């Protein structure tokens, strides 16, 4: 069922840069308005592959008879999904009119899009948790915009396979939240490879991790600051102002003339919308303060992460289409988490916002479906009118949008990547297990088969039954 | 809540003050499904005072004059028990003045490794905002556990009953707590610390009279710690040992062979590997089924069906979140264990009957005449994520399903904010 991928998949990083031109300043496009800017050319070099991504894609095959939950609002019970060349070729109700390849009878089971985690530290806070595997916070200065999670990502983290076994097919791996600006995050497509670059989701923009609230002021309070929330926001504004100046100084230059500065290049990407700003922030007033600073410099926030008080400002976040990536029920371990409520996801969704269940946890990423189910149950008990499909979007298309990849994944629609999960029962049941998990139509998890660990770390350990 | 109809019958039209003076009213819970070893039975349950007075086949209860609750189509279980929390000892984990789990004190051995004499229960805050939050998910009891050192101090059992320590604390000290495993020194040192402390407690009992007359050498440990460890060494109260690596569990079992200790393993990530030895010694295990993966070198063999394998081998299994703020997730843990193959009733028992038996609170953890009336009425399968708590009784008192979080929910239910709520 494997076919050779298109060159688009192979050269996804490059494709991204071309597609991103639309958002870059028009003034630089004199002569050839489609040509990449100098900064975009530099970015392309910084993202060039060494190891080619696995070109294999899955299909043709047809899943027949399952309840198909598409995350578009449509639910086919029963329905079918046809996969050809790693893409969804057809999806619908009843029996596939033109099945392709082997027809797999999955009657009584459920098919969903592959789950997407908008906030993970797998690979940078890898198992086993020892000093040597802790790559999550470059906590040496409050602004380390120049570091990339990709460069600390260990592809042998056993947690990656566990995540896949929970139905996850894509995750945003972020630096930690010790710093005001922690560095770049990388979107990982769960196809095992020898290095992070080959696991990059083709065409996905980088994330830029920022943080507000208690963490930066706790970490740097005795190390030169910031010591307060005032200092946090001053730090963000100073960084944005410096990046604006650097951008102005380097616009219109040839790539070789740009004054290379890896910190500024990340911040410039954030300012120009080529990288997506992902902000760790809990309290409603902290989010509003961050937005004021972001507005001042024209920075767009893709999502607030954790965002326990998003429900207090859900009207504002929904109007701005800012994602709210949070847990179902975490709260209280810091003061800024004291007002968390289990209806947060549901209230945000009800207000028309982009609610997202994230994990921030090697355990939680194995059960995103259960977390969504809890959020849904809490919301319904409070009277929120939400469908199962609404809650499915919290773990599929809404995170896809926050990661800038919703044109490729997140729903079961014709033409999208065949990232999908076959569940043995309703995925919102605590008893549900992902039976088969596909990425690009390739079955990466098969519970019917004997398990061979993905991670080299787990090979040869003395683990008898 | 329309299924829960309250019918106030004769004799109960009392004012609040009168009701208090008269004690809790009797309650008749009609037609509830009560899960048990032999499947579900549909029953009437009569609660009188703080106890269950009667469990009869549906329609057969003889009590009269009770407040009635229609529980048809609902599941009734004993209140859930999380046997390893920090409830009431922590309000905000990262704000030190609200954290009271560390029992290092001046009147104990200088190393700080043995804190046997300090009781955590005096620090218990029954007004903590965590308690109603936890209760709303059907957890009615918890063991709150100190942390730190090799012997951390004693825990206590609380029922999440109300704002008074005296009402909440059911037994203190309940159990002694220790930990083995990775530390700055060799893990072997923790074994010795524990071994010496327990041996010396027995030695102390034997030589105390002579020692008081200066006829025998002194002891390595302070007298307070020895006195606190004596009931542990004699098997009068359990010794709960936090330990994960299979070889550490083996070491613990080897070291304590032939003693009267009532051991309980907490954590037990690799306990499944030594399940036969645990079963032989009847050592129960408190575990978290959600932890899966080689999170450290003490858990290289961690696996999601740990509880399943232990149960099948005859090891009594309990679940814990090992948490404060997450204690409300307890039933999700049980659901995941069932997903991996644990029988459903064993998962319910693991949160009710087993902790009551292991920790010796015989009147807790089951629904039968004479048992403490800690009861939860569920809209469906208690382990399922869509199921809600619809009724909650602790010590026979029906508690409102409210918390600081429901107050926030109600204030922000509509925007703009409703400042009258």
pLDDT tens-place string over residues A393-436: 999 999 999 999 999 999 999 999 999 999 999 999 999 999 99
Closest partner CB to A370 (pick from B94, B130, B332): B332
Has residue A26 got a pLDDT over 80? no
Total number of domains constituting chain B: 1
Kindly determine whether residue B412 and residue A214, on different chains, have CB atoms separated by under 8 Å.
no
Structure tokens at A357: 């269940």
Kindly determine whether residue A340 and residue B405, on different chains, have CB atoms separated by under 8 Å.
yes
B1: closest CA among B65, B50, B70? B70
pLDDT tens string B276-327: 999 999 999 999 999 889 999 999 999 999 999 999 999 999 999 999 999 9
Q: Is residue B6 part of a domain?
A: no
Q: Is residue B129 part of a domain?
A: yes
B341 touches A at CB < 8 Å: no
- Residue A56 confidence (pLDDT): 95
Contact A125/A134 with Cβ under 8 angstroms?
yes
* Average per-residue pLDDT for chain B: 93
Has residue B212 got a pLDDT over 70? yes
Higher pLDDT, A31 or A134: A134
Using a CB-CB cut-off of 8 Å, the residues of chain A touching B301 are 461, 463
Q: Is residue B394 part of a domain?
A: no
Distance CA A333, CA B324 (A): 9
Distance CA A24, CA A268 (A): 11
Has residue B16 got a pLDDT over 50? no
Closest partner CB to B290 (pick from A128, A339, A363): A363
Per-residue b/e over A25-37, b at no fewer than 16 CB within 10 Å? eeebeeeeeeebb
Kindly determine whether residue B415 and residue A314, on different chains, have CB atoms separated by under 8 Å.
yes
Contact B93/B394 with Cβ under 8 angstroms?
no
Kindly determine whether residue A351 and residue B415, on different chains, have CB atoms separated by under 8 Å.
yes
B60 SS3 class: coil
- Residue A33 confidence (pLDDT): 72
All residues at 6 or more sequence positions from A443 whose CB lies less than 8 Å from its CB, including other chains: A1, A58, A436, A437
Opening angle at CA A119, ends A24 and B93, nearest 5: 130
Query: How many contacts (CB atoms, under 8 Å) link A and B?
Result: 118
Contact A98/A457 with Cβ under 8 angstroms?
no
Backbone angles phi, psi at B141, to 5 degrees: -140, 155
Nearest residue on chain A to B338, alpha-carbon basis: A431
- Residue B21 confidence (pLDDT): 40
Tokens 């847990």 belong to which residue?
A327
Interface of B with A in 54-73 (CB under 8 A): none
Kindly determine whether residue B130 and residue A431, on different chains, have CB atoms separated by under 8 Å.
no
- Residue A464 confidence (pLDDT): 60
Using a CB-CB cut-off of 8 Å, the residues of chain B touching A428 are 385-386
Q: Is residue B36 part of a domain?
A: no
Q: Is residue B57 part of a domain?
A: no
Q: Give A363 to chain B, closest Cα distance, Å.
A: 6
Q: How many helices (H) and strands (E) does chain A have?
A: 14, 18
Distance CA B136, CA B139 (A): 7
Contact B89/B395 with Cβ under 8 angstroms?
no
Please give, one letter per residue, the 3-state secondary structure of A148-180. Answer: EHHHHCCCCCHHHHHHHHCCEEEEEECCCCCCC
- Overall average pLDDT of the A98-107 stretch: 98
Contact A416/A403 with Cβ under 8 angstroms?
no
Q: Containing domain of residue B213, as a range?
A: 80-364
B417 touches A at CB < 8 Å: yes
Bridge partners of A243, per DSSP, are: none
Q: What is the dihedral of CA B233, B238, B241, B242, to 10 degrees?
A: -160
- Residue B106 confidence (pLDDT): 87
- Residue A465 confidence (pLDDT): 53
- Overall average pLDDT of the B132-159 stretch: 97
Structure tokens at A138: 């470059």
Nearest residue on chain A to B133, alpha-carbon basis: A341
Q: What Rg value do the Cα atoms of chain A yield, rounded?
A: 22
Kindly determine whether residue A376 and residue B409, on different chains, have CB atoms separated by under 8 Å.
no
Contact B113/B105 with Cβ under 8 angstroms?
no
Using a CB-CB cut-off of 8 Å, the residues of chain A touching B136 are none
Distance CA B327, CA A329 (A): 11
Per-residue b/e over A267-278, b at no fewer than 16 CB within 10 Å? bbbbbbbbbbbb
- Residue B110 confidence (pLDDT): 85
Kindly determine whether residue A331 and residue B290, on different chains, have CB atoms separated by under 8 Å.
no
- Residue A53 confidence (pLDDT): 87
Opening angle at CA B130, ends B127 and B133, nearest 5: 115
Kindly determine whether residue B294 and residue A457, on different chains, have CB atoms separated by under 8 Å.
yes
Kindly determine whether residue B294 and residue A214, on different chains, have CB atoms separated by under 8 Å.
no
Backbone angles phi, psi at B276, to 5 degrees: -65, -40
A443: closest CA among A89, A241, A192? A192
pLDDT tens string A312-342: 999 999 999 999 999 999 999 999 999 999 9
Strand order in the sheet with B263-267: B151-154, B176-179, B239-243, B263-267, B285-287, B317-319
* Average per-residue pLDDT for chain A: 93
Can you say whether the dihedral through the CA atoms of A208, A214, A215, A216 is positive or negative? positive
- Peptide linkage before A314 cis (omega within 30 of 0): no
* Residue B314: CATH number of its domain: 3.20.20.140
**C-alpha to C-alpha distances, B408 to A284, A305, A339, B402, nearest whole angstrom:** 13, 20, 7, 10
Q: Is residue B412 part of a domain?
A: no
Q: What is the pTM of this model?
A: 0.94
All residues at 6 or more sequence positions from A38 whose CB lies less than 8 Å from its CB, including other chains: A28, A250, A252, A253, A254, A255, A257, A258
- Mutation for testing the B interface, residue in A341, A346, A377 having most B CBs under 10 Å: A341
Distance CA A101, CA B194 (A): 64
- Residue A31 confidence (pLDDT): 60
Q: Give A29 to chain B, closest Cα distance, Å.
A: 45
- Overall average pLDDT of the B38-58 stretch: 96
Tokens 């219109």 belong to which residue?
A252
B387 touches A at CB < 8 Å: yes
Closest partner CB to B293 (pick from A338, A362, A383): A362
Q: A207-211 and A276-281: which strand pairing?
A: parallel
Kindly determine whether residue B296 and residue A431, on different chains, have CB atoms separated by under 8 Å.
no
Q: Is residue B60 part of a domain?
A: no
Using a CB-CB cut-off of 8 Å, the residues of chain B touching A340 are 405
Structure tokens at A24: 């870059």
B336 touches A at CB < 8 Å: yes
Using a CB-CB cut-off of 8 Å, the residues of chain A touching B409 are 341, 343, 382
Kindly determine whether residue B412 and residue A333, on different chains, have CB atoms separated by under 8 Å.
no
Q: Give A357 to chain B, closest Cα distance, Å.
A: 15
B257 touches A at CB < 8 Å: no
Kindly determine whether residue A430 and residue B295, on different chains, have CB atoms separated by under 8 Å.
no
The Cβ of residue A128 has, within 10 Å, a number of other Cβ atoms equal to 17
Kindly determine whether residue A430 and residue B292, on different chains, have CB atoms separated by under 8 Å.
no
B282 touches A at CB < 8 Å: no
Annotate B244-263 with DSSP letters as a single string: -SHHHHHHHHHHTTTS---E
Q: What is the dihedral of CA B148, B149, B153, B156, to 10 degrees?
A: 30
Q: Give B145 to chain A, closest Cα distance, Å.
A: 17
DSSP classification of residue A432? -
Structure tokens at A296: 């001042």
Backbone angles phi, psi at B418, to 5 degrees: -90, 100
- Overall average pLDDT of the B11-15 stretch: 35
Please give, one letter per residue, the 3-state secondary structure of A224-289. Answer: CCCCCHHHHHHHHHHHHHHHHHHHHHHCCCCHHHCCCCHHHHHHHHHHCCCCEEEEEECCHHHHHH
- Residue A282 confidence (pLDDT): 98
DSSP classification of residue B26? P
Distance CA A276, CA B124 (A): 46
Can you say whether the dihedral through the CA atoms of B328, B334, B336, B339 is positive or negative? negative
- Residue A462 confidence (pLDDT): 74
Using a CB-CB cut-off of 8 Å, the residues of chain A touching B133 are 331
Distance CA B200, CA B382 (A): 46
Annotate B67-82 with DSSP letters as a single string: EEEE-TT-EEEEPEEE
Using a CB-CB cut-off of 8 Å, the residues of chain A touching B385 are 370, 373-374, 377, 428-430
- Residue B64 confidence (pLDDT): 87
Closest partner CB to A329 (pick from B328, B335, B386): B328
- Mutation for testing the A interface, residue in B385, B388, B405 having most A CBs under 10 Å: B385
All residues at 6 or more sequence positions from B238 whose CB lies less than 8 Å from its CB, including other chains: B174, B175, B176, B232, B262, B263, B264, B358, B359, B360
Longest Cα separation, chain A: 68
Nearest residue on chain A to B299, alpha-carbon basis: A128
Structure tokens at B366: 């089951």
Q: Is residue B386 part of a domain?
A: no
Using a CB-CB cut-off of 8 Å, the residues of chain A touching B388 are 377, 381
Closest partner CB to A381 (pick from B329, B335, B388): B388
Distance CA B251, CA B265 (A): 12
DSSP classification of residue A6? P
DSSP classification of residue A313? G
Using a CB-CB cut-off of 8 Å, the residues of chain A touching B413 are 347, 382-383
- Residue B109 confidence (pLDDT): 83
Kindly determine whether residue B292 and residue A366, on different chains, have CB atoms separated by under 8 Å.
yes
Beta strand segments in B292-398, E: 317-319, 375-378, 389-394, 397-398
Rounded to two decimals, the ipTM of the complex is 0.93
Bridge partners of A61, per DSSP, are: A83
Nearest residue on chain B to A383, alpha-carbon basis: B413
Opening angle at CA A20, ends A440 and A395, nearest 5: 45
Annotate B276-290 with DSSP letters as a single string: HHHHHTT--EEE-TT
Kindly determine whether residue A333 and residue B290, on different chains, have CB atoms separated by under 8 Å.
no
pLDDT band of residue B18 (cuts 50, 70, 90) is: very low
Annotate A317-331 with DSSP letters as a single string: HHHTT-EEEE-SS--
Closest partner CB to A433 (pick from B129, B295, B339): B339
- Overall average pLDDT of the A105-114 stretch: 98
Nearest residue on chain B to A330, alpha-carbon basis: B326
Where is A184: in which H helix or E strand? strand A181-189
Using a CB-CB cut-off of 8 Å, the residues of chain A touching B324 are 332
B405: closest CA among B93, B135, B1? B135
A212 SS3 class: coil
Percentage of residues of chain B with pLDDT beyond 70? 94
- Mutation for testing the A interface, residue in B135, B182, B294, B401 having most A CBs under 10 Å: B294
Using a CB-CB cut-off of 8 Å, the residues of chain A touching B291 are 363
Structure tokens at A106: 């999955």
Percentage of residues of chain A with pLDDT beyond 90? 90
pLDDT tens string A231-251: 999 999 999 999 999 999 999
């Amino acid at each position: 069922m494997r076919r050779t991928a298109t060159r688009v998949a192979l050269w996804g990083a490059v494709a991204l840069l071309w597609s991103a031109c639309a958002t870059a300043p028009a003034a630089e496009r004199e002569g050839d308005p489609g040509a990449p800017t100098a900064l975009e050319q530099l970015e392309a070099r910084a993202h060039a592959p060494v190891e080619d991504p696995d070109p294999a894609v899955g299909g043709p095959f047809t899943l027949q008879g399952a309840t198909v939950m598409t995350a578009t609002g449509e639910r086919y019970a029963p329905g079918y999904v046809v996969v050809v060349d790693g893409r969804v070729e057809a999806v619908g109700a009843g029996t596939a009119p033109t099945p392709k390849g082997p027809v797999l009878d999955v009657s009584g089971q459920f098919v969903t899009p592959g789950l997407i985690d908008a906030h993970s530290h797998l690979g940078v806070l890898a198992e086993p948790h020892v000093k040597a595997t802790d790559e999550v916070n470059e906590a040496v200065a409050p602004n380390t915009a120049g570091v990339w999670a990709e460069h600390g990502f260990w592809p042998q983290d056993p947690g990656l396979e566990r995540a896949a076994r929970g139905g996850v097919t894509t995750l945003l791996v972020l630096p930690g939240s010790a710093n005001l600006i922690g560095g770049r995050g990388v979107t990982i497509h769960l196809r095992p490879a020898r290095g992070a670059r080959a696991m990059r989701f083709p065409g996905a923009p980088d994330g830029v991790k920022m943080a507000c609230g208690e963490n930066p002021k706790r970490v740097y309070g005795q190390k030169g600051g910031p010591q307060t929330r005032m200092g946090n926001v001053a730090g963000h504004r100073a960084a944005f102002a410096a990046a604006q100046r650097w951008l102005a100084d380097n616009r219109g230059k040839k790539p070789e003339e740009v004054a290379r500065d890896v910190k500024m290049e990340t911040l410039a990407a954030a300012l120009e919308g080529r990288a997506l700003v992902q902000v760790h922030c809990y309290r409603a007033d902290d989010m509003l303060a961050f937005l004021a600073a972001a507005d001042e410099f024209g920075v767009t926030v893709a999502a607030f992460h954790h965002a326990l008080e998003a429900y207090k400002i859900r009207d504002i976040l929904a109007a701005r289409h800012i994602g709210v990536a949070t847990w179902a029920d975490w709260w209280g371990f810091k003061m800024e988490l004291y007002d968390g409520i289990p209806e947060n996801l549901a209230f945000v969704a009800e207000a028309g916002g982009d609610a997202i269940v994230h994990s921030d946890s090697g355990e939680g990423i194995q059960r995103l479906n259960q977390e969504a189910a809890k959020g849904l149950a809490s919301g319904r008990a409070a009277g929120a009118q939400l469908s199962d499909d609404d809650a499915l979007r919290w773990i599929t298309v809404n995170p896809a949008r926050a990661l800038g990849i919703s044109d490729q994944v997140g729903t079961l629609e014709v033409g999208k990547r065949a990232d999908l999960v076959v569940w043995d029962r309703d995925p919102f049941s605590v008893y549900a297990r992902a039976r088969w998990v596909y990425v690009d139509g390739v079955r990466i998890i098969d519970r019917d088969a004997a398990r061979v660990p993905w991670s080299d770390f787990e090979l040869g350990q003395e683990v008898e039954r | 809540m329309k299924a829960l109809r309250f019918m106030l019958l004769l004799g109960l039209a009392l004012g609040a003050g009168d009701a208090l003076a008269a004690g809790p009213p009797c309650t008749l819970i009609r037609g509830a499904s009560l899960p048990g070893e032999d499947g579900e039975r549909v029953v009437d349950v009569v609660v009188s005072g703080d106890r269950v007075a009667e469990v009869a086949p549906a329609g057969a209860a003889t009590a009269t004059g009770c407040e009635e609750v229609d529980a048809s189509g609902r599941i009734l279980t004993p209140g859930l028990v999380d046997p390893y929390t920090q409830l009431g000892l922590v309000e905000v984990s990262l704000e030190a003045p609200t954290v009271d789990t560390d029992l290092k004190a001046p009147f104990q051995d200088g190393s700080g490794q043995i804190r046997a004499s300090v009781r955590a229960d005096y620090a218990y805050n029954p007004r903590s905002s965590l308690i109603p939050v936890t209760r709303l998910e059907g957890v009615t009891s918890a063991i709150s556990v100190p942390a730190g050192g090799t012997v951390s101090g004693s825990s206590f059992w609380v029922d999440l009953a109300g704002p008074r320590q005296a009402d909440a604390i059911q037994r203190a000290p309940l159990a002694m707590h220790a930990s083995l495993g990775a530390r700055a020194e060799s893990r072997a040192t923790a074994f010795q610390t524990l071994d010496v402390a327990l041996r010396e407690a027995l030695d102390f009992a034997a030589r105390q009279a002579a020692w008081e007359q200066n006829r025998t050498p002194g002891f390595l440990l302070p007298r307070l710690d020895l006195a606190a460890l004596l009931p542990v060494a004699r098997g009068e109260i359990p010794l709960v040992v936090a330990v994960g690596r299979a070889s550490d569990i083996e070491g613990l079992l080897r070291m304590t062979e032939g003693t009267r200790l009532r051991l309980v393993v907490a954590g037990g990530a690799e306990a499944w590997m030594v399940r036969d030895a645990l079963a032989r010694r009847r050592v129960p295990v408190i575990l978290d089924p959600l932890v899966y993966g080689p999170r450290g070198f003490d858990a290289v063999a961690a696996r999601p069906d740990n509880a399943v394998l232990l149960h099948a081998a005859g090891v009594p299994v309990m679940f814990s979140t090992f948490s404060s703020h997450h204690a409300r997730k307890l039933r999700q843990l049980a659901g995941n264990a069932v997903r991996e193959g644990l029988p459903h009733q064993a998962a319910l028992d693991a949160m009710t009957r087993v902790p009551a038996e292991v920790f010796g609170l015989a009147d807790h953890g089951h629904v039968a005449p004479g048992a403490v009336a800690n009861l939860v009425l569920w809209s469906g399968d208690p382990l399922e994520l869509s199921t809600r708590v619809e009724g909650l009784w602790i010590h026979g008192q029906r508690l409102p399903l409210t918390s600081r979080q429901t107050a926030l929910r109600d204030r922000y239910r509509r925007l703009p904010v409703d400042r009258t709520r």
